[in-house]
Amino acid sequence: DAGVIQSPRHEVTEMGQEVTLRCKPISGHDYLFWYRQTMMRGLELLIYFNNNVPIDDSGMPEDRFSAKMPNASFSTLKIQPSEPRDSAVYFCASTLRDRVYNEQFFGPGTRLTVL
Question: Which of 34, 48, 65, 90 lies at the binding interface for another protein (CB under 8 A)?
Answer: 48
Q: Measured from the CB of residue 52, what is the shortest distance to another protein in angstroms?
A: 14
Dihedral sign for Cα 20, 21, 27, 33, please.
negative
Give the residue with the Cβ less far from another protein, 2 or 100. Answer: 100
Q: Measured from the CB of residue 15, what is the shortest distance to another protein in angstroms?
A: 25
Q: One symbol per residue from 81 to 110: x for binding another protein (CB under 8 A), - otherwise; what is it?
A: ----------x---x-x--xx-xx-xxxx-
Give the residue with the Cβ less far from another protein, 81 or 108. Answer: 108
- Residue 55 bridge partners (DSSP): none
CB 90 within 8 A of CB 77: yes
